[in-house]
C-alpha cells in the first residue's frame, strides 16, 4: 500500500496548500491520537518546532487535534528536531512531534514524528495513521479531553544532554568558534552548548524573525560562515540547518568539510581511543576516497540508499553505530537515536581537542575524489533503464575505471531527470566520462 501523505521524512509542503493547512493538521493529530489510543489509555505527546512564523498556527492545530482525541500535549517551543527526539525518550512520552521543514525556506513547513524511544517511526505506523486520517472524527467526551501544558526548561535539558556527549576530561578552552544556527531552532541553544564547554563563541544566524530561517545562512549556505570564520580569525565554524539535524564545518582557512569527511573523523576518533569499530554506513553518494580510507583502517563500509532513514536502517540491521551522508546528516547511535548536528560537531571537536591536531591534519591522506554530477532531462514516459546504448556506454566507462572510480546512474524521485555521477581521482577524466554517459542518455545511441 502506497502512502498518500507521508514522504521520506514526515509530511512537508508549502504552508496554505494541502496538506500543510490548519484543518488538515488538526485532522492529522486527531488521527494520530486515535492510533495511539489503540494501545495506550492516556497518551502524552511532545510538540516542538523551529522558528517559522507558520509554527504558531500549526502548533495550535496539532494541540487541538490531539486534545480532541483524548491525548495530553506538552509544548516545548522552539527546539531542534534531535532535541524533541531526546526529550520524548527522557520524559517517557508516547510520541514526539516536530513542526519543521528542515533546510527549506520559511514558506514551507512540515510535521514529523518520533517514537517513544526517540526513533523515526516505521512505514506500517504511517500507513495506520493514513487509514484513519480521512475518516470522520471520533471526538471524545468532554471529561476525557486531553490537556496541554508548556515545558519551560526544554532547551536547558537538551543543552545538558548535548554537553554530556562530550568527554568529561576535555574542554574547548582556547578555541574560537563561529556558530551559525540558520536563524532556526538552535538559535539560542547552539551558542550556549559550545560556550558552556569553554569555547569563545561568535554567533551568526541566531536572530530569527519568523521569515529568515535558512536565508543565506546555515548548513545550506555556508558562504556566510566561511566569511565570518576568516574575518574573526576563528579556529572553526559550525553551521546547522533550520532544525539542527544537519552539519557543515569550516576550518580557519575557510575550507569546508562535508559529511563524508566528518564521518571518517568520527570513526577515526574511536579507533584512536582503542575502540572497536566493525563498520560504518554511508550512501550511494559517499565519496570513494572515504570508502578506501575506511578499508585501509580495517573498517567495513556499506552503502545505503540516499536518505538518513536508510542509513539508520542499515546500521540497525548490522548492530553498528556510525553512519552518515555527505550532506551533513550524521548518526552516532551510542550518543543519540537520531541525527544531531550539535552532537556531531562535538564529536569532531573532541577529536581535535584530544589529539591536539586540526581537522586538516586528522584528514591527511584522505583526499576526496572529484565527483561530476550531471542531470539529463528525459522525455515523458521514457524508461532510461531500457536504453541499451546507455547500458553499453556504462559498461565501457566502468571497465575503463576498473577499481579506481565509480559510476552511479539513478532517476530523480521528484523530477523527470536522470542523475549521472562519475567519480575518480582525475577531475578532467571524471567530467569527460560523465559527459559520455549523458550524451548516450540524451541521444539514445552510442556516444562514440
Same domain for 211 and 268?
A: no
Residue 270 lies in a domain: yes
Task: Say if residue 17 is in the same domain as residue 134.
Answer: yes
Q: 5 lies in a domain?
A: no
Q: Which grid coordinates belong to 258?
A: 562535508
pLDDT at residue 446 tops 80? no
DSSP letter, residue 369: P
pLDDT tens string 113-126: 999 999 989 889 99
pLDDT greater than 70 at residue 310: yes
Question: Is 102 designated active site?
Answer: yes
On whether residue 47 sits in a domain, the answer given is yes
Distance, CA of 412 to CA of 435 (rounded, Å): 18
Query: Does a cis peptide bond (omega within 30 degrees of 0) precede residue 166?
Result: no
One domain for residues 177 and 221: yes
pLDDT attached to residue 252: 97
Residue 332 is inside which H or E element, if any? strand 330-332
Average pLDDT of span 235-239: 98
Candidate list 102, 228, 327, 430, residue with the active-site label: 102
Per the domain annotation, does 3 fall within a domain?
Answer: no
In this predicted model, what pLDDT tens digit does every residue of 344-390 receive, in sequence order? 999 999 999 999 999 999 999 899 999 999 999 987 767 888 888 89
Does residue 28 share a domain with residue 129? yes
Strand 371-377 with 417-424, pairing? antiparallel
Q: Which of 124, 152, 180 is the last residue of a domain?
A: 152
d(CA 71, CA 67): 5
113: CB partners within 8 A, 6+ apart: 10, 32, 95, 96, 97, 98, 120, 121
pLDDT tens figures, 162-175: 999 999 999 999 99
Alpha-carbon torsion angle 437, 443, 446, 448, nearest 10 = -80
Question: Rounded to whole angstroms, how far apart are CA atoms 80 and 30?
Answer: 24
Our count of domains for the chain comes to 4
Share of the chain above pLDDT 70, in %: 98
**Range(s) of the domain holding residue 241:** 157-253
Could you tell me how far CA 97 lies from the centroid of its own chain?
A: 16
CB atoms within 10 A of CB 191: 21
Q: pLDDT above 90 covers what percent of the chain?
A: 90
Q: Is the peptide bond before 19 cis (omega within 30 degrees of 0)?
A: yes
- Interval 253-295: pLDDT, tens: 999 999 999 999 999 999 999 999 999 999 999 999 999 999 9
Q: Residue 424: in which H helix or E strand, if any?
A: strand 417-424
Asked which of 104, 121, 152 is the last residue of a domain, the reply is 152
In a domain, 1, yes or no: no
CA distance 228 to 233: 8
Distance CA 446, CA 448 (A): 5
Alpha carbon separation from 380 to 141, 373, 383, 427, 437 (Å, rounded):
52, 22, 9, 32, 20
The number of residues in the chain equals 448
Residues 64 and 119 both lie in one domain: yes
Q: Are residues 124 and 33 in the same domain?
A: yes
Kindly state whether residues 269 and 176 are assigned to the same domain.
no
Tell which of 336, 362, 388 closes a domain.
362
- 97 with 51, same domain? yes
Residue 6 resides in a domain: no
| Domain containing residue 49: CATH number | 3.40.120.10
**Cβ atoms 371, 287 nearer than 8 A:** yes
Angle (nearest 5°) at CA 295 between 437 and 401:
25
Is residue 45 one of the residues assigned to a domain? yes
Which domain CATH number covers 401? 3.30.310.50
Per DSSP bridges, beta strands 417-424 and 405-411 are: antiparallel
Residue found by looking up cell 574547548 in the block: 172
204 and 275, same structural domain?
Answer: no
How distant is the alpha carbon of residue 40 from its chain centre? 30
Residue 406 DSSP code: E
pLDDT tier at 445 (50, 70, 90 boundaries)?
Answer: low
* 264 and 356 fall within a common domain: yes
Is residue 403 scored above 70 in pLDDT?
A: yes
Tens-digit pLDDT profile for residues 5-46? 998 789 999 999 999 999 999 999 999 999 999 999 999 999
Do both 192 and 231 map to the same domain?
yes
State whether 178 and 143 are in the same domain.
Answer: no
**Which residue, chain included where needed, has cell 514529523?**
112
Amino acid at each position: 500500500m502506497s502512502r498518500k501523505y507521508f514522504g521520506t521524512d514526515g509530511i512537508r509542503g508549502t504552508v496554505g496548500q494541502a496538506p500543510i493547512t490548519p484543518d488538515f493538521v488538526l485532522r492529522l493529530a486527531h488521527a494520530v491520537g486515535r492510533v495511539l489510543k489503540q494501545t495506550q489509555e492516556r497518551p502524552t505527546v511532545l510538540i516542538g518546532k523551529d522558528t517559522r512564523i507558520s509554527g504558531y498556527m500549526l502548533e495550535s492545530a496539532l494541540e487541538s487535534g490531539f486534545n480532541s482525541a483524548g491525548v495530553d500535549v506538552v509544548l516545548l517551543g522552539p527546539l531542534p528536531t534531535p532535541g524533541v527526539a531526546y526529550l520524548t525518550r527522557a520524559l517517557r512520552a508516547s510520541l514526539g512531534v516536530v513542526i519543521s521543514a528542515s533546510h527549506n525556506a520559511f514558506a514551507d513547513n512540515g510535521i514529523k514524528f518520533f517514537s517513544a524511544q526517540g526513533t523515526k517511526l516505521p512505514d506500517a505506523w504511517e500507513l495506520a495513521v493514513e487509514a484513519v486520517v480521512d475518516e470522520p472524527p471520533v471526538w471524545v467526551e468532554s471529561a476525557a479531553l486531553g490537556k496541554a501544558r508548556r515545558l519551560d526548561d526544554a532547551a536547558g535539558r537538551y543543552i545538558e544532554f548535548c554537553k554530556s556527549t562530550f568527554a568529561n576530561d576535555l574542554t574547548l578552552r582556547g578555541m574560537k568558534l563561529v556558530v551559525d544556527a540558520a536563524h532556526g531552532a538552535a538559535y539560542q541553544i547552539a551558542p550556549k552548548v559550545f560556550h558552556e564547554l569553554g569555547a569563545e563563541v561568535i554567533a551568526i544566524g541566531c536572530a530569527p524573525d519568523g521569515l529568515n530561517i535558512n536565508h543565506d545562512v546555515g548548513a545550506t549556505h555556508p558562504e556566510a560562515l566561511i566569511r565570518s570564520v576568516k574575518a574573526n580569525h576563528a579556529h572553526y565554524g559550525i553551521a546547522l540547518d533550520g532544525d539542527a539535524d544537519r552539519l557543515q564545518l569550516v576550518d580557519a582557512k575557510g575550507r569546508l568539510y562535508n559529511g563524508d569527511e566528518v564521518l571518517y573523523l568520527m570513526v577515526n576518533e574511536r579507533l584512536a581511543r582503542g575502540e572497536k569499530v566493525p563498520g560504518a554506513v554511508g550512501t550511494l553518494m559517499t565519496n570513494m576516497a572515504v570508502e578506501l580510507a575506511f578499508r585501509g583502517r580495517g573498517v567495513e563500509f556499506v552503502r545505503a540508499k540516499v536518505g538518513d532513514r536508510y542509513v539508520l536502517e542499515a546500521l540497525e540491521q548490522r548492530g553498528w553505530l556510525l553512519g552518515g551522508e555527505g550532506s551533513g546528516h550524521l548518526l552516532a547511535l551510542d550518543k543519540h537515536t537520531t541525527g544531531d548536528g550539535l552532537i556531531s560537531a562535538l564529536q569532531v571537536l573532541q577529536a581535535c581537542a584530544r589529539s591536539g591536531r586540526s581537522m586538516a591534519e586528522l584528514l591527511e591522506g584522505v583526499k576526496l575524489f572529484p565527483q561530476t554530477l550531471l542531470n539529463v532531462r528525459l522525455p515523458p514516459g521514457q524508461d532510461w533503464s531500457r536504453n541499451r546504448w546507455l547500458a553499453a556506454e556504462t559498461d565501457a566507462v566502468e571497465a575503463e575505471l576498473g577499481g579506481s572510480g565509480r559510476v552511479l546512474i539513478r532517476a530523480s524521485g521528484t523530477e523527470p531527470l536522470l542523475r549521472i555521477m562519475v567519480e575518480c581521482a582525475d577531475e578532467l577524466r571524471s567530467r569527460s566520462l560523465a559527459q559520455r554517459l549523458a550524451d548516450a542518455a540524451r541521444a539514445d545511441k552510442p556516444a562514440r
